[in-house]
């Protein structure tokens, strides 16, 4: 026989927190609270399996009725009253509650069991007729709406009219006669709407409510919520039937909600609100302004109405003790609901409290220091991607902002600057000391110098893996991609958003964490790894076994990387060094050179710049490893396409326009990604490779004299896009020869290493051979993914969503490493490489190096390091620590239900508007949306105050 029903109450429970798949989160925690002796009104839980059965067959399991009747008897004896009794009636609530938290998304019916007879008994027994009829009119209102489907606005209107008639503002100011009349009017309305009487039989009411709760699993609100939060469709909700306790029994009664600590900043202060003479739903629905729980909070808010601490000191102390007990028991912050009936406290709900990232860190560190959790557990408490929002300049929390458009949050952080439409102009303005936002329909490799110069990037087309998005993330530039409502009129130098027109040079702000485009200059705050954040990161480092390096070319990025805890640079993309200022001109001269001599002259100019740049990196990293990749992109990326740009470039480089045009045509390729690039360039133009080697070794020698520790760095020279051992040998030959020459010229000895990128399947398969010559491997997983899939990263936008929808690809392989395919190649290459050269160092660079799931793969596979964008270094440190701990059997206890998702405002607008009358829904909205980094209970509770029914400035 299947057990469909689990009892709880009177200090014991058949269920417990571990079986929340069966009992739902609410039911499991009610059971848990009951069994640790907290004052929980008795009740029972119908399992989620009943819901699934109901879903699949349209009916209840056969033996359910019997089990419920038995449970009801136990409940009656525990509560000391009888369901439907005309002298001593039991009332119950029927509450939804799934495995995953879906706050306010499903239904709950309170005060079930009231009818003309039982209401009289309740009045008699409580000696409070007003209370009895208040409960009765609440019940009819709720039941008619949720179970019978009568539009709630009818009742709202009648309630409004009753208050007007009586000349009062608040529900609780209505007199008993008003409530009695309302009850009659409500019933009449139900009859008018449905053509049948409101059900009077408590058993009918009970099963009606249970059915409605189960059905609410599939209401549109709940469905949308699940979609947005990656909660599986199967599973269903449990239904909890629980004895009612009454917070509306007069002025020694109350209802409230609280967090055991401040969920906004993590302060170890009890945090919450209550309403006198009210039922729980009133607090979340914002019917009246609630009061603070503690005196301290009341004073801080300059509130006059007494706190619970002052109003009911005894109950308050009891609640404080329960707060401690809950935190000790759950070892985490709890979000609780409670009710006080005539001075007696009851606990109605507890669950792990949602919190901001800042709070999550503070709480994890505090709880460790308080001895509640271990350091390991603290490290496991956050999803690494959560800390992303702490690592970029962000829009100040209270900033006034005017949203003019929305796109995808493609690269996090806030950026402010003047609108420009072309990469060269971006570079120009930046070298004049301005800050710019590059606005394009989409970007191409030709725009890299502009992307680099700009504070942030805004595109009207393209997705999360579009060129702009990928490059922006790798450079740590905020990016909003695919803001489709923008219209760029490049010729006129205008940007149109509906009726709004911005001119080139006008100020604009973008928030790459939310996808918002904001008018003008919005104040921002800078990131810092300090305080609790720093502590938590240092604990992560204690458990981490893999090295974390950064991809960096500029001084600023290298310094940032070091600040963020990078242990070296895993990838210096030397071509990026040629995009800045004068360098691009020298670079173009080199490409436009008509013979080897001309080319050598131009290269000579580049040599000095390159050497200077690399010296700086060596100095900053001061003895830590720095891996420098030889020139990688095809040369035509440096030459312009448009006529206007052609003449501009020709002038700057001092050559005829004709030559630029001809060269650009000569260099044009059908498939640049698979064309003349990477080490293939060095094969054709060995002088480029020689210049770079000279710059690198010269820099190493110089850094040995000038860096703080005076140590000569071990330069790691990395050859890109190698497919064959022969290629590698030729290039290594040039490098070795140059190294010997520099050692002699500079009169120093230094060690260096020459290694290869593994970014072609052929290289992975030939790794055993390559390892004969290559001294290290770095897996270039971006290109390796492109070449393994035969898929261009910049062209996936049009079909990737179909692939995801049809289940062909669960994840974007450019975001999360494809373990089955690309991962397999990496493993093959590692094995073959190590069998030739057992002590070989191997790591990955590219986007995946900063992705927690991919980092976990690297840990499991035994790579030595990951290298990622400086902004992701702390994320990688935390992710690597978690992977190492997981390998030791530590459990993940993330405090967040879902990973952040692309905010999609459409469905949310609908969600809020379908139930505009209920702030509880809105609370769910605030809590649930991962992108709302400014979410704070302060705000969510604040919205309950006085009940603004529209989300603040979001829409
Ligand atoms: P939700 O999941 O939307 O929070 P709940 O089931 O928690 O819905 O119930 C809504 C409100 O009713 C809450 O404030 C809760 O505290 C209150 N409530 C639920 N059951 C009872 C009960 N047995 N006695 C008193 N109040 C209750
Ligand atoms: Mg609740
Ligand atoms: Mg590559």
Q: Distance between CA atoms of 775 and 770, rounded to whole angstroms?
A: 9
CATH number at residue 327: 3.30.470.20
Q: Both 148 and 200 in a single domain?
A: yes
Mutate to test the pocket of ligand 1, among 95, 219, 926, 944 (most ligand atoms within 8 A of CB): 95
Q: Looking at the domain assignment, is residue 854 inside a domain?
A: no
**Contact yes or no for 17/74 (Cβ under 8 A):** no
Q: Is the pLDDT at 776 greater than 80, yes or no?
A: yes
Q: Both 437 and 464 in a single domain?
A: yes
Instruction: Identify the residue whose C-alpha is closest to ligand 1 atom 26.
Output: 280
DSSP state of 846: S
Instruction: Identify the residue whose C-alpha is closest to ligand 1 atom 3.
Output: 104
DSSP state of 843: E
Residues with CB under 5 A from ligand 2 (ion): 349
Q: Distance between CA atoms of 672 and 633, rounded to whole angstroms?
A: 9
Q: Looking at the domain assignment, is residue 852 inside a domain?
A: no
Of 28, 180, 163, 12, nearest in space to 95 by CA: 28
Q: For the chain, what's the residue count?
A: 955
Q: Which residues of 640-676 are buried (b: 16+ CB within 10 A; e: fewer)?
A: beeeebbebbbeebebeeeebbebbeebeeeebbeee
Of 755, 785, 808, which closes a domain?
755
What does the block give as tokens for 682?
């060095």
Q: Looking at the domain assignment, is residue 839 inside a domain?
A: no
Q: Is the pLDDT at 896 greater than 70, yes or no?
A: no
Residues serving a catalytic function are 467, 845
* Predicted confidence (pLDDT) per residue in 836-874, tens digit: 999 999 999 988 999 999 999 999 999 999 999 998 999
CA dist list (Å): 321 to 325, 331, 802, 835, 864: 6, 15, 53, 62, 48
- Ligand 1 atom having least distance to the Cα of 92: 23
Q: Looking at the domain assignment, is residue 175 inside a domain?
A: yes
- Ligand 1 atom having least distance to the Cα of 247: 25
Mutate to test the pocket of ligand 1, among 108, 286, 917 (most ligand atoms within 8 A of CB): 108
- Ligand 1 atom having least distance to the Cα of 104: 3
* Predicted confidence (pLDDT) per residue in 634-683, tens digit: 998 888 878 888 888 898 888 999 999 999 999 999 998 899 999 999 99
pLDDT of residue 465: 62
Q: Both 31 and 85 in a single domain?
A: yes
Cα-based torsion angle of the residue sequence 536, 540, 541, 544 in order, rounded to the nearest 10 degrees: 180
Instruction: Identify the residue whose C-alpha is closest to ligand 1 atom 1.
Output: 104
pLDDT of residue 741: 97
Mutate to test the pocket of ligand 1, among 280, 285, 925 (most ligand atoms within 8 A of CB): 280
What does the block give as tokens for 396?
């100040």
- How many angstroms does the Cα of residue 335 sit away from the middle of ligand 2? 9
Q: Distance between CA atoms of 270 and 673, rounded to whole angstroms?
A: 58
Q: Distance between CA atoms of 278 and 475, rounded to whole angstroms?
A: 54
CATH number at residue 506: 3.50.30.10
Beta strands in 764-901 (DSSP E): 776-780, 841-845, 865-868
Q: Distance between CA atoms of 914 and 289, rounded to whole angstroms?
A: 23
Cα dihedral sign, 714-719-720-724: negative
- How many angstroms does the Cα of residue 651 sit away from the middle of ligand 2? 70
CATH number at residue 175: 3.30.1490.20
Q: Both 57 and 205 in a single domain?
A: yes
Question: With left for phi above 0 and alpha for psi between -120 and 50, is residue 146 left, alpha or beta?
Answer: alpha
- Band of pLDDT at residue 767, cut at 50, 70 and 90: very high
* Predicted confidence (pLDDT) per residue in 87-100, tens digit: 999 999 999 999 99
Q: Both 26 and 158 in a single domain?
A: yes
Least confidently predicted of 44-53, 135-144, 292-301, 364-373: 292-301
Q: Which residue has the higher pLDDT, 55 or 952?
A: 55
Q: Looking at the domain assignment, is residue 583 inside a domain?
A: yes
**Contact yes or no for 75/202 (Cβ under 8 A):** no
What share of the chain in percent tops pLDDT 70? 92
Q: Distance between CA atoms of 664 and 662, rounded to whole angstroms?
A: 5
Instruction: Identify the residue whose C-alpha is closest to ligand 1 atom 9.
Output: 108
- How many angstroms does the Cα of residue 445 sit away from the middle of ligand 3? 13
DSSP state of 811: S
456-468 average pLDDT score: 82
Q: Looking at the domain assignment, is residue 288 inside a domain?
A: yes
- How many angstroms does the Cα of residue 294 sit away from the middle of ligand 1? 22
Instruction: Identify the residue whose C-alpha is closest to ligand 1 atom 18.
Output: 280
* Predicted confidence (pLDDT) per residue in 910-949, tens digit: 222 222 223 232 333 333 332 222 222 222 322 222 222 2
First to last CA, the chain: 52
344-366 average pLDDT score: 93
Of 243, 267, 291, which closes a domain?
243
Of 514, 515, 519, nearest in space to 933 by CA: 514
Question: Which ligand does the CA of 282 lie closest to?
Answer: 1
What does the block give as tokens for 844?
């990955």
- Band of pLDDT at residue 205, cut at 50, 70 and 90: very high
- How many angstroms does the Cα of residue 777 sit away from the middle of ligand 1? 59
Q: Is the pLDDT at 766 greater than 50, yes or no?
A: yes
Q: Both 434 and 347 in a single domain?
A: no
Predicted TM-score (pTM) of this structure: 0.81
Instruction: Identify the residue whose C-alpha is closest to ligand 1 atom 20.
Output: 93
Q: Is the pLDDT at 6 greater than 50, yes or no?
A: yes
> What secondary structure does DSSP assign to 627-676, as a single string?
EEEPP-S-GGGGS--SHHHHHHHHHHHTS-HHHHHHHHHHH--S-GGGSS
Of 241, 180, 236, 292, nearest in space to 20 by CA: 236
Secondary element (H or E) of residue 110: strand 108-112
Question: Which ligand does the CA of 679 lie closest to?
Answer: 3
Instruction: Identify the residue whose C-alpha is closest to ligand 1 atom 17.
Output: 280
- How many angstroms does the Cα of residue 928 sit away from the middle of ligand 2? 14
- Band of pLDDT at residue 442, cut at 50, 70 and 90: confident
**Contact yes or no for 785/814 (Cβ under 8 A):** yes
576-584 average pLDDT score: 79
pLDDT of residue 678: 96
- How many angstroms does the Cα of residue 285 sit away from the middle of ligand 3? 55
> What secondary structure does DSSP assign to 433-472, as a single string?
T--EEEEESS--GGGHHHHHHSSEEEESS--TTSHHHHHH
- Ligand 1 atom having least distance to the Cα of 245: 24
Of 700, 721, 755, which closes a domain?
755
Strands 486-489 and 414-420: unpaired
- How many angstroms does the Cα of residue 720 sit away from the middle of ligand 3? 6
240 beta partners: 45, 95
pLDDT of residue 474: 65
Q: Distance between CA atoms of 829 and 293, rounded to whole angstroms?
A: 61
129-156 average pLDDT score: 95
Q: Which residue has the higher pLDDT, 694 or 530?
A: 694
What does the block give as tokens for 131?
């209370």
DSSP state of 105: T
pLDDT of residue 285: 65
**Contact yes or no for 859/518 (Cβ under 8 A):** no
Q: Looking at the domain assignment, is residue 433 inside a domain?
A: yes
Beta strands in 361-460 (DSSP E): 394-395, 403-406, 408-411, 414-420, 436-440, 456-459
Q: Looking at the domain assignment, is residue 887 inside a domain?
A: no
Q: Is the pLDDT at 136 greater than 60, yes or no?
A: yes
CA dist list (Å): 846 to 161, 438, 494, 770: 65, 23, 35, 21
Question: Which ligand does the CA of 110 lie closest to?
Answer: 1
Q: Which residue has the higher pLDDT, 394 or 564?
A: 564
Least confidently predicted of 224-233, 612-621, 738-747: 224-233
- Ligand 1 atom having least distance to the Cα of 337: 16
Q: How many domains does the chain have?
A: 5
CATH number at residue 698: 3.20.20.60
Q: Distance between CA atoms of 378 and 367, rounded to whole angstroms?
A: 8
Q: Both 80 and 111 in a single domain?
A: yes
- Count other Cβ atoms within 10 Å, centred on residue 749: 9
Question: Which ligand does the CA of 287 lie closest to?
Answer: 1
- How many angstroms does the Cα of residue 820 sit away from the middle of ligand 3? 20
Strands 271-276 and 291-292: antiparallel
Q: Distance between CA atoms of 506 and 521, rounded to whole angstroms?
A: 10
DSSP state of 754: E
pLDDT of residue 949: 25
**Contact yes or no for 485/390 (Cβ under 8 A):** no
Question: Which ligand does the CA of 756 lie closest to?
Answer: 3
Instruction: Identify the residue whose C-alpha is closest to ligand 1 atom 14.
Output: 280
- How many angstroms does the Cα of residue 70 sit away from the middle of ligand 2? 26
pLDDT of residue 286: 62
- How many angstroms does the Cα of residue 86 sit away from the middle of ligand 1? 25
- How many angstroms does the Cα of residue 95 sit away from the middle of ligand 1? 7
pLDDT of residue 933: 22
Q: What are phi and psi of 509, to 5 degrees?
A: -120, 145
- How many angstroms does the Cα of residue 337 sit away from the middle of ligand 2? 7
- Ligand 1 atom having least distance to the Cα of 96: 6
Q: Both 83 and 173 in a single domain?
A: yes
Q: Both 553 and 689 in a single domain?
A: yes
- Ligand 1 atom having least distance to the Cα of 95: 6
Secondary element (H or E) of residue 228: helix 220-228
Q: What is the average pLDDT score of the chain?
A: 88
| SS3 state of residue 860 | helix
Q: Is the pLDDT at 952 greater than 70, yes or no?
A: no
- Band of pLDDT at residue 356, cut at 50, 70 and 90: confident
Q: What are phi and psi of 729, to 5 degrees?
A: -60, -45
**Contact yes or no for 174/180 (Cβ under 8 A):** no
Residue 712 CB burial class (10 angstroms; 0-12, 13-18, ≥19):
buried
* Predicted confidence (pLDDT) per residue in 224-261, tens digit: 778 767 788 888 999 999 999 999 999 999 999 999 99
Instruction: Identify the residue whose C-alpha is closest to ligand 1 atom 23.
Output: 244
CA angle at residue 185 from 181 to 187, to 5 degrees?
A: 120
DSSP state of 790: T
343-365 average pLDDT score: 92
Question: Which ligand does the CA of 95 lie closest to?
Answer: 1
* Predicted confidence (pLDDT) per residue in 206-221, tens digit: 999 999 999 999 988 8
Q: Is the pLDDT at 797 greater than 90, yes or no?
A: no
Beta strands in 285-357 (DSSP E): 291-292, 334-341, 344-352
- Ligand 1 atom having least distance to the Cα of 280: 14
Q: Both 555 and 480 in a single domain?
A: no
How many helices (H) does the chain have, and how many strands (E)? 37, 34
689-707 average pLDDT score: 95
* Predicted confidence (pLDDT) per residue in 315-334, tens digit: 999 999 999 999 999 999 99
Question: Which ligand does the CA of 209 lie closest to?
Answer: 1
pLDDT of residue 284: 65
- Ligand 1 atom having least distance to the Cα of 106: 3
**Contact yes or no for 732/719 (Cβ under 8 A):** yes
What does the block give as tokens for 625?
């490893």
Q: Both 188 and 284 in a single domain?
A: no
Mutate to test the pocket of ligand 1, among 91, 93, 287 (most ligand atoms within 8 A of CB): 93
**Contact yes or no for 627/566 (Cβ under 8 A):** no
Q: Is the pLDDT at 908 greater than 50, yes or no?
A: no
Q: Which residue has the higher pLDDT, 288 or 292?
A: 292
Q: Both 314 and 170 in a single domain?
A: no
Instruction: Identify the residue whose C-alpha is closest to ligand 1 atom 8.
Output: 108
Mutate to test the pocket of ligand 1, among 26, 102, 104, 110 (most ligand atoms within 8 A of CB): 110
> What secondary structure does DSSP assign to 34-53, as a single string?
HHTT-----EEEE-HHHHHH
Secondary element (H or E) of residue 725: helix 725-746
Secondary element (H or E) of residue 94: strand 92-98
| Residues contacting ligand 1 via CB (< 6 Å) | 41, 93, 95, 104, 108, 110, 242-245, 279-281, 284, 337, 339, 348-349, 920
- Band of pLDDT at residue 699, cut at 50, 70 and 90: very high
The whole domain housing 612 covers: 547-755
- Ligand 1 atom having least distance to the Cα of 41: 23
Instruction: Identify the residue whose C-alpha is closest to ligand 1 atom 16.
Output: 280
- What percentage of the chain's residues is helix, strand, coil (to nearest 5)? 50, 15, 35
**Contact yes or no for 336/257 (Cβ under 8 A):** yes
Residues 6 or more apart whose Cβ sits within 8 Å of residue 163: 169, 170, 171, 173, 174
């Amino acid at each position: 026989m299947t057990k469909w029903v689990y009892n709880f109450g009177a200090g014991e429970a058949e269920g417990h927190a571990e079986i929340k798949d069966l009992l739902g989160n609410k039911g499991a925690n009610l059971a848990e609270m009951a069994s640790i002796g907290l004052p929980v009104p008795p009740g029972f839980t119908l399992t989620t399996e009943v819901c699934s059965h109901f879903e699949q067959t349209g009916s209840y399991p056969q033996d359910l009725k019997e089990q419920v009747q038995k449970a009801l008897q136990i409940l009656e004896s525990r509560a000391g009253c009888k369901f439907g009794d005309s002298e001593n009636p039991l009332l119950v609530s029927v509450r939804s509650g799934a495995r995953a938290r879906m706050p306010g998304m499903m239904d709950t019916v309170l005060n079930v069991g009231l009818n003309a007879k039982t209401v009289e008994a309740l009045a008699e027994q409580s000696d409070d007729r007003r209370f009895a009829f208040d409960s009765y009119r609440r019940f009819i209102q709720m039941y008619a709406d949720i179970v019978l489907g009568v539009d709630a606005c009818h009742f709202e209107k009648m309630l409004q009219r009753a208050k007007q008639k009586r000349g009062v503002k608040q529900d609780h100011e209505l007199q008993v006669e008003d409530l009695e009349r309302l009850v009659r009017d409500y019933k009449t309305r139900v009859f008018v709407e449905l053509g049948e009487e409101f059900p009077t039989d408590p058993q009918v009411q009970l099963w009606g409510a249970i059915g409605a709760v189960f059905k609410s699993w599939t209401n549109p609100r709940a469905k949308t919520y699940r979609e947005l939060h990656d909660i599986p469709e199967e599973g269903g909700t449990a239904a909890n039937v629980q004895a009612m306790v009454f917070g509306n029994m007069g002025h020694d009664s109350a209802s409230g909600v609280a967090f055991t600590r401040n969920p906004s900043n993590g302060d170890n202060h009890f945090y919450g609100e209550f309403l006198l003479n009210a039922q729980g739903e009133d607090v979340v629905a914002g019917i009246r302004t609630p009061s603070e729980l503690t005196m301290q909070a009341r004073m801080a808010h300059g509130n006059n109405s007494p706190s619970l601490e002052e109003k009911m000191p005894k109950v308050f102390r009891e609640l404080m003790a329960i707060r401690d007990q809950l935190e000790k028991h759950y070892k985490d912050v709890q979000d609780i609901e409670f009710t006080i009936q005539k001075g007696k406290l009851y606990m109605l709900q507890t669950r792990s409290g949602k919190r901001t990232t800042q709070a999550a860190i503070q709480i994890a560190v505090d709880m460790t220091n308080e001895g509640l959790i271990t350091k390991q557990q603290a490290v496991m408490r956050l999803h690494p991607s959560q800390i992303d929002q702490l690592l970029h300049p962000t829009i100040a929390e209270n900033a006034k902002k005017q949203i003019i458009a929305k796109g995808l949050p493609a690269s996090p952080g806030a950026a402010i600057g003047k609108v420009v439409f072309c990469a060269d102009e971006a570079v120009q303005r930046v070298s004049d000391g301005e800050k710019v936002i590059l606005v394009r329909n989409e970007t191409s490799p030709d725009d890299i110098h502009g992307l680099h110069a700009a504070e942030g990037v805004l595109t009207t087309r393209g997705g999360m893996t579009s060129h702009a998005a990928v490059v922006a993330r790798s450079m740590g530039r905020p990016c909003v991609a695919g803001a489709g409502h923008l219209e760029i009129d490049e010729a006129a130098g205008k940007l149109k958003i509906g009726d709004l027109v911005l001119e080139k040079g006008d100020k604009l702000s973008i928030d790459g964490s939310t996808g918002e485009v904001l008018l003008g200059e919005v104040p921002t705050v800078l990131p810092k790894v300090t305080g609790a954040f720093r502590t938590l990161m240092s604990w992560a480092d204690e458990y981490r076994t893999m090295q974390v390096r950064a991809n960096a070319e500029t001084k600023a990025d290298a310094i940032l990387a070091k600040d963020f805890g990078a242990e070296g640079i895993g990838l210096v993309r030397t071509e990026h060094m040629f995009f800045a200022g004068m360098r691009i001109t020298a670079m173009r001269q080199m490409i436009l050179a008509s013979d080897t001599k001309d080319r050598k002259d131009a290269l000579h100019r580049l040599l000095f710049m390159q050497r200077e740049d690399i010296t700086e990196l060596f100095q900053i990293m001061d003895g830590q490893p720095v891996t420098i990749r030889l020139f990688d992109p095809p040369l035509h990326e440096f030459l312009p396409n448009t006529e206007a740009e052609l003449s501009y470039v020709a002038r700057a480089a001092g050559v005829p326009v004709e030559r630029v045009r001809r060269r650009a045509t000569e260099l044009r390729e059908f498939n640049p990604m698979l064309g003349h690039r990477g080490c293939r360039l060095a094969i054709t133009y060995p002088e480029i490779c020689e210049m770079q080697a000279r710059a690198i070794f010269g820099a190493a020698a110089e850094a040995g004299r000038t860096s703080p520790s005076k140590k000569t760095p071990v330069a790691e020279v990395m050859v890109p896009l190698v497919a064959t051992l022969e290629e590698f040998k030729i290039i290594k030959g040039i490098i070795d020869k140059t190294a010997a020459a520099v050692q002699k010229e500079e009169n120093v000895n230094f060690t260096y290493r020459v290694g290869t990128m593994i970014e072609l399947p052929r290289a992975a398969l030939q790794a055993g051979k390559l390892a004969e010559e290559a001294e290290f491997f770095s897996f270039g997983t971006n290109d390796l993914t492109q070449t393994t899939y035969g898929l261009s990263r910049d062209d996936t936008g049009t079909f990737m969503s179909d692939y995801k929808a049809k289940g062909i690809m669960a994840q974007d392989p450019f975001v999360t490493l494809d373990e089955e395919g690309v991962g397999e190649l990496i493993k093959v290459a590692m094995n073959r490489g190590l069998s030739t050269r057992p002590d070989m160092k191997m790591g990955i660079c590219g986007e995946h190096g900063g992705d927690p799931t991919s980092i976990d793969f690297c840990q499991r596979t035994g790579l030595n390091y990951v290298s990622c964008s400086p902004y992701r270094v702390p994320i990688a440190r935390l992710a690597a620590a978690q992977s190492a701990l997981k390998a030791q059997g530590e459990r993940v206890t993330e405090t967040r239900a879902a990973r952040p998702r692309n905010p999609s405002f459409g469905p949310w607008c609908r969600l809020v508007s379908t139930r505009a009358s209920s702030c509880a829904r809105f609370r769910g909205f605030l809590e649930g949306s991962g992108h709302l980094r400014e979410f704070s209970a302060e705000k969510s509770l604040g919205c309950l105050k006085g009940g603004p029914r529209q989300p603040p400035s979001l829409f």
